[in-house]
Structure 1
Amino acid sequence: MTHHYFKVFTQRNTAVLLLLGFASGLPLALTSGTLQAWMTVAGLDLTTIGFFSLVGQAYVFKFLWSPLMDRYSLPFLGRRRGWMLLTQVSLIILIFAIGCLNPQHDLWLMAALAVMIAFFSASQDIVFDAYKTDVLSAEQRGNGAAISVLGYRLAMLVSGGLALWIAHYYIGWRSTYWLMSLLMFIGVFATLWAKEPESEIATPRTIEQAIVEPLKDFFGRNNAWLILLLIVLYKMGDAFAGSLSTTFLIRGVGFNAGEVGLVNKTLGLFATIIGVLIGGILMQRLTLFRALMLFGILQAVSNFGYWILAVTDKNIMTMGSAIFFENLCGGMGTAAFVALLMTLCNRSFSATQFALLSALSAVGRVYVGPVAGWFVEHYDWPLFYLFTIVMALPGLFLLAICRQTLEYTQKNDSFLPRLHFSPQYHSAIRLVIAGAVLLGTWLILLFWSAAEFSAFYYLKEVLLSLGGLLCLIGIIMGCLLDYLAIRQKTAN
C-alpha cells in the first residue's frame, strides 16, 4: 500500500512537473533578493535598491496578459509548450545579459533587463500553471501541486541562498548569473520532454472571448462569490503570522540576525519541502475538501508555536520547533491550496482563470502587513499570535459552507451551475464593476496629481471612498445570495 503512494513520484509526468516547477521558480530571486545583494555589495544607496523592488510588479498583474496565452497558440509545440519554450529561451538570454552588466555603470539598463526578466518569468508562471491544470486529472492534482511547489522551492534555494554563497566565495556575481542562465536549460529540456495536453476542449476564438468568457464562466457557477472569498481567507492566518515573523524573532524574542537566518530560512524551507511532499501523499487518500480542512486546521494550530515563543524565555530549540512545525503545516496547506486553484479552473481558459485566482490569493500576503503592525503596537506579540489563529477560522468556516460544491467539482470535473437569484447576481456584479471603475479612475488621478496637479485632492477622496464602498456592497451581496441559494437548495 505504501509503495502505491510513493510510486507516483517516479512517473514521467511527475519528473516533468518537478523540472518545470524548478524553471518557474529560478528567476524570482534573480530580480529580487539576489539582485539586491549584488547591488548592496556594489555600494549602491538604499533608495536605489528599494526602487528595484518595483520590478516584480509583473507577478502581481500577470492576469492582464494571461488571456493572450489562452487565445493564441504559437506555431510550434502546441498551445502550452510553445509559450513555455518562448519564455524560457527569453529568460536564458536576459539572465545571461544582466550578468554582463555592472550595477555601478549600467544601472538603468540593468533595471530594464530586470523588468523584462520579471515579465517573462511571470509569463512562464502563467503558462506553467495552465499546463499543469490541463494535463493533470482530478486524482493527480494533489500530487502534481506538491511536486510543482517542491521544484519551485528548490529553485528559490538555488537562485537565492546558494547563489549568494557561490558569488561571494567562488565565482563572483557575473559568473553566478551566467550559471543561473545555464540552469534555465533545465526548463527547456522539460518542455521538450513534456507531452502537450489533449486539445479536445473548446478554446477561445477571439481575444474578447478570452477576456470575457472566463469571468462569465466563473460567475455562472454555484457559490462563485463564496469560493472567491474562500481563496482570499483560506491562508489568512498564515499571512498574518508570517508578515512580521522575522521582526518578532529579532526584536520580540531577541535572537540575532544570523540565528534567524539559519533557522527561519534554512530550516523553514526544509520543513516546507517536507510539508508539500507529505501533503501530496495524503491527498492521494483524502478528498480535496478533507485535505483542505485538515491542513487548514493544522495551519491554524501551528501558529500556536509562535505564541509559546512570545510567552517563554528565549531558546533556540523552541524557535526551531515552532518554525519547523509552522512551515511543515504551511507546506501541506499550500499543496492542497494549489490543487484547489487547479480544480476551479475551466481548461478552456485555465491560463486566465488561474492567473486571476492566484492574484486574488495574494491579497492576504500583500495587505495584512499594516494591520499586523498596528495590532502588535497596541496589543503586543502574545495576543497578536492568538489573533492569527482566530483569523484562520473564517476560511475554515467558508470551506465548510462550500463543501458540496467542491466535492461535486472534484468528482465530476465540472461545475454546478447557478440556478437561483440571477437578476440579483447581475446587480451585485454591476456594483463591483462600477466600484472597480471608480477605483481605477482614482488610481489614474493619484499618479497624475502626484506629478503635476493638486486640485483633485477631494475628488480622489470621493472616488476612493465611493469605489471601495460599491465593491464592498457588491461582494457582500454576492456572498449573501450564494448563502441563500445554498439554504434554498437544502430546503428543497
Structure 2
Amino acid sequence: MLTNLPVLKESKSLRYFSFFYLYVMQGIPSGFALTAVANYLAAKGLSSYSVGSFIAIVGLPWVLQFIWGPIIDRYQFSVIGHRKHWVVLTQVLAFVASLALMMVNDPVKQILLLSLLFFIHSNFASVQDASVDAMAISIVPEAERGRVNAFMRGGYLLGIAAGSAGLSTILNHYGFFYAAATQSALLLFFTIITYIIKLDSADNYLPIFRPIPSANDVHFNDNPKLKWLFIQLYKAVTVKNSMKTFLQIAVVYTCLSIFIRGFSFHLIHNLHWTNNAVSVLQGGWGTIATLMVTLLGGYMADKIGPEILQGKVMFVIALFLITFSLLGSFWYLKSVSITGLLLFNFADPMFSVAAMPVLMLLCRKRIEGSQFTAYMAMVNFCDVLGSYFSGWAMTFASASQIGLVCGLIILSVMIFFRNRQRNILSSEV
C-alpha cells in the first residue's frame, strides 16, 4: 500500500502538504515554550528580565543553526531520502526531549530545570528545522517558492496557535505535565508521517549506514568537503549585496520580537490580563484569517516578485508600529489592545512570505542548504536578541515607547537603503 503513495519530487500537492505539516510540527513547541510558558511565568510574578532570559535560553540553539547547515550538506545523502535521515532522527530525539519535560512539576520553582530541558529540546528541533529548510530549497522549484514558503509559514502559524492557545489552556486548567504530554503525542504523530513520506520513488524505508549509489543517482557520492562548505558559506553570506539585503530583513525581525515581547508583558503585568487570554489571542483568534492572508501573500510573492512585496510589507509594519504605539494611552481599552494583537499576527507571516524567497534567491548552488540555514540561524538570533533586549528595555521604558522606536527604526532603514539605491542608479547613469 505504501508503495503507491506519491513522492515529494513528483507531486506539487504533496510538497505543499509536507512542508505545511512539518512547520506545524515546528510551531507547536515554539508556541508552547515562547508564548504559553513565557506568559505563564510572567503571570506568576517573574520579572521581565527573567522571562526574557528564559526565552533567550530556549532560543539559543536556533542561533547555532549555521553550524549544522554544512554538516547536513556534508552528509546529505541517504537511502531513505536525501537529508530525510536528518529530519527523522532529530524528530525522534525532539520527541524524547519533549517526554523529559514531564519531569517538571512546578515551572516557576523549577525554572532552571525547565530552561535546561527546553534548551535540550531546542537543540534537536533546530537541527530538524535546518534539515527541513535544506530539503525544501533543494526540492522546491523556484516558481513555487513563494507559495511553498506561504504554506511553511502558515503551518508554523497553525503550530504556534496550537502550542500557545491550545497548550496554554491545558497548562492552566490541567497542569504542565498534561501540556507536555499532549505536545509529545503530537510530535510522535507527525514523526510517523515523516517516515512514511518518500522524497523519491527509489528511496527505501530501512536505512543503512553505508550508502549504495544507484544507477539513477550520479551525485550520490558527491558529498562536498566540510572545510570547502564553510569557506564557500562565508564567501556567500559576506557578499555586499547579500549583507545589504539581509540587514533590512534582520532589522524587521528584531524589531518585531522586541515589540511583541514588551507588549505581551505590558498586558499581563500592567493591565492585569490573564496569561491564558494573552496566549490565546497571540496564537488562537484570527488564525484562519492569518492563514488565508499568508497564502495570498505567497501567491503575490510569486506574481509580483518577493523583493517588491518585501518593501511594501516593511512599510506597512513600520506604519502599524508607529501608529499603534502612539495610541499607547488607549491600550487599557481591551478593544484597542485586542485589535493591535490581531493585526500584529499578520505582520510576521506576511513579511516572512516575502523575505524567505528573497533569501532563497541569494543562495548559491551546492551550498544552498547551508546558506539558507545560516540565514535562518541569523533570523532566529534576531528573535532571541529581541526577546532579551525587550526584557532589559522594559526595566526603564514603556512598551509604547519601545514600539514607537522600533517602527521608526524600520522606516529609517527603508529610507536609507532606498536613497542609497537611487544614488547608485543615478551615478551609473
Residues in 2 aligned to 1:225 and 1:89: alpha-carbon distance in whole angstroms: 35
Q: Which residue of 2 aligns with 1:96?
A: 99
Q: Which residue of 1 aligns with 2:319?
A: 301
* Residues 72-87 of structure 1: pairs in structure 2 closer than 5 A: 72-73=75-76, 75-87=78-90
Q: Is the 8 A contact 1:232 1:362 kept in 2?
A: no
Question: CA 1:48 to 1:245, structure 2 compared with 1: closer, same or farther past 3 Å?
Answer: closer
Q: Is the 8 A contact 2:36 2:168 kept in 1?
A: yes
Residues in 1 aligned to 2:280 and 2:389: alpha-carbon distance in whole angstroms: 27
Shift of 1:182: 2.8
Shift of 1:124: 0.3
Q: Is the 8 A contact 2:69 2:370 kept in 1?
A: yes
Query: What residue identity is the alignment partner of 2:18?
Result: V
Residues in 2 aligned to 1:195 and 1:80: alpha-carbon distance in whole angstroms: 10
Residues in 1 aligned to 2:125 and 2:317: alpha-carbon distance in whole angstroms: 29
Q: Which residue of 1 aligns with 2:229?
A: 210
Q: Which residue of 2 aligns with 1:123?
A: 127
The CA deviation string for residues 244-279 of structure 1, in whole angstroms up to 9 with x for no partner, is 212444677x46346645545543756644442331
Shift of 1:29: 4.8
Question: CA 1:15 to 1:244, structure 2 compared with 1: closer, same or farther past 3 Å?
Answer: same
Structure 1 counterpart of 2:68, from 65, 69, 77: 65
Query: What residue identity is the alignment partner of 1:306?
Result: F
SS at match of 2:304: coil
Q: Is the 8 A contact 1:230 1:398 kept in 2?
A: no
Shift of 1:208: 0.5
SS at match of 2:199: coil
Bigger relative contact order (CA 8 A; separation at least 6): 2
Query: Aligned-pair RMSD on alpha carbons?
Result: 4.3
Shift of 1:308: 4.8
Residues in 2 aligned to 1:239 and 1:49: alpha-carbon distance in whole angstroms: 14
What's the % identity of the aligned pairs? 18
Residues in 1 aligned to 2:58 and 2:328: alpha-carbon distance in whole angstroms: 36
Q: Which residue of 1 aligns with 2:161?
A: 157
Question: CA 1:119 to 1:34, structure 2 compared with 1: closer, same or farther past 3 Å?
Answer: same
Mean CA deviation greater in 383-392 or 29-38 = 29-38
SS at match of 2:229: helix
Q: Is the 8 A contact 1:250 1:256 kept in 2?
A: yes
Residues in 2 aligned to 1:239 and 1:107: alpha-carbon distance in whole angstroms: 22
* Residues 411-422 of structure 1: pairs in structure 2 closer than 5 A: none
Question: CA 1:376 to 1:34, structure 2 compared with 1: closer, same or farther past 3 Å?
Answer: closer
The CA deviation string for residues 89-120 of structure 1, in whole angstroms up to 9 with x for no partner, is 22233323443675699999877654432211
Structure 2 counterpart of 1:256, from 244, 249, 273: 273
Residues in 1 aligned to 2:394 and 2:40: alpha-carbon distance in whole angstroms: 35
Q: Which residue of 1 aligns with 2:356?
A: 338
1:324 is aligned to 2:327: no
Shift of 1:314: 3.8
Question: CA 1:401 to 1:183, structure 2 compared with 1: closer, same or farther past 3 Å?
Answer: farther
Q: Is the 8 A contact 1:24 1:128 kept in 2?
A: no
The CA deviation string for residues 56-99 of structure 1, in whole angstroms up to 9 with x for no partner, is 42112222232110111354323221211111122233323443
Question: CA 1:364 to 1:358, structure 2 compared with 1: closer, same or farther past 3 Å?
Answer: same
The CA deviation string for residues 332-379 of structure 1, in whole angstroms up to 9 with x for no partner, is 11211222222222242233212321232345444456489659957x
Structure 2 counterpart of 1:284, from 284, 302, 315: 302
Shift of 1:121: 0.5
* Residues 45-64 of structure 1: pairs in structure 2 closer than 5 A: 54-64=57-67
Q: Which residue of 1 aligns with 2:26?
A: 24
Shift of 1:400: 4.1
Residues in 2 aligned to 1:80 and 1:130: alpha-carbon distance in whole angstroms: 8
* Residues 103-252 of structure 1: pairs in structure 2 closer than 5 A: 113-169=117-173, 173-184=176-187, 185-190=189-194, 192-195=196-199, 205-219=224-238, 221=239, 223-249=241-267
Residues in 2 aligned to 1:12 and 1:393: alpha-carbon distance in whole angstroms: 39
Residues in 2 aligned to 1:15 and 1:216: alpha-carbon distance in whole angstroms: 34
Mean CA deviation greater in 11-20 or 333-342 = 333-342
Shift of 1:142: 1.4
Shift of 1:301: 1.8
* Structure 1 unaligned residues grouped into runs of 5+: 1-8, 405-482
Query: What residue identity is the alignment partner of 1:88?
Result: Q
Residues in 1 aligned to 2:391 and 2:51: alpha-carbon distance in whole angstroms: 25
Question: CA 1:487 to 1:365, structure 2 compared with 1: closer, same or farther past 3 Å?
Answer: farther
Q: Which residue of 2 aligns with 1:433?
A: none
Query: What residue identity is the alignment partner of 2:246?
Result: L
Shift of 1:385: 4.3
Q: Is the 8 A contact 2:77 2:223 kept in 1?
A: no
Q: Which residue of 2 aligns with 1:455?
A: none
Query: What residue identity is the alignment partner of 1:71?
Result: R
SS at match of 1:285: helix
Residues in 1 aligned to 2:354 and 2:374: alpha-carbon distance in whole angstroms: 18
The CA deviation string for residues 193-232 of structure 1, in whole angstroms up to 9 with x for no partner, is 252599788965211112111222344x562332232232
Shift of 1:36: 6.9
Residues in 2 aligned to 1:79 and 1:364: alpha-carbon distance in whole angstroms: 30
Question: CA 1:397 to 1:138, structure 2 compared with 1: closer, same or farther past 3 Å?
Answer: farther
SS at match of 2:158: helix
SS at match of 1:94: helix
Q: Is the 8 A contact 1:232 1:363 kept in 2?
A: no
Q: Which residue of 2 aligns with 1:436?
A: none
Q: Is the 8 A contact 1:150 1:277 kept in 2?
A: yes
Shift of 1:402: 9.1
Q: Is the 8 A contact 2:39 2:279 kept in 1?
A: no
Q: Which residue of 2 aligns with 1:396?
A: 414
The CA deviation string for residues 128-184 of structure 1, in whole angstroms up to 9 with x for no partner, is 1112222222221111111111212222232333123235546x5445434322322
Shift of 1:296: 1.4
Residues in 2 aligned to 1:244 and 1:300: alpha-carbon distance in whole angstroms: 17
Larger Rg: 1
* Residues 322-401 of structure 1: pairs in structure 2 closer than 5 A: 322-368=340-386, 370=389, 377=396, 385-397=403-415, 400=418
Q: Structure 1-normalised TM-score? A: 0.67
Question: CA 1:348 to 1:363, structure 2 compared with 1: closer, same or farther past 3 Å?
Answer: same
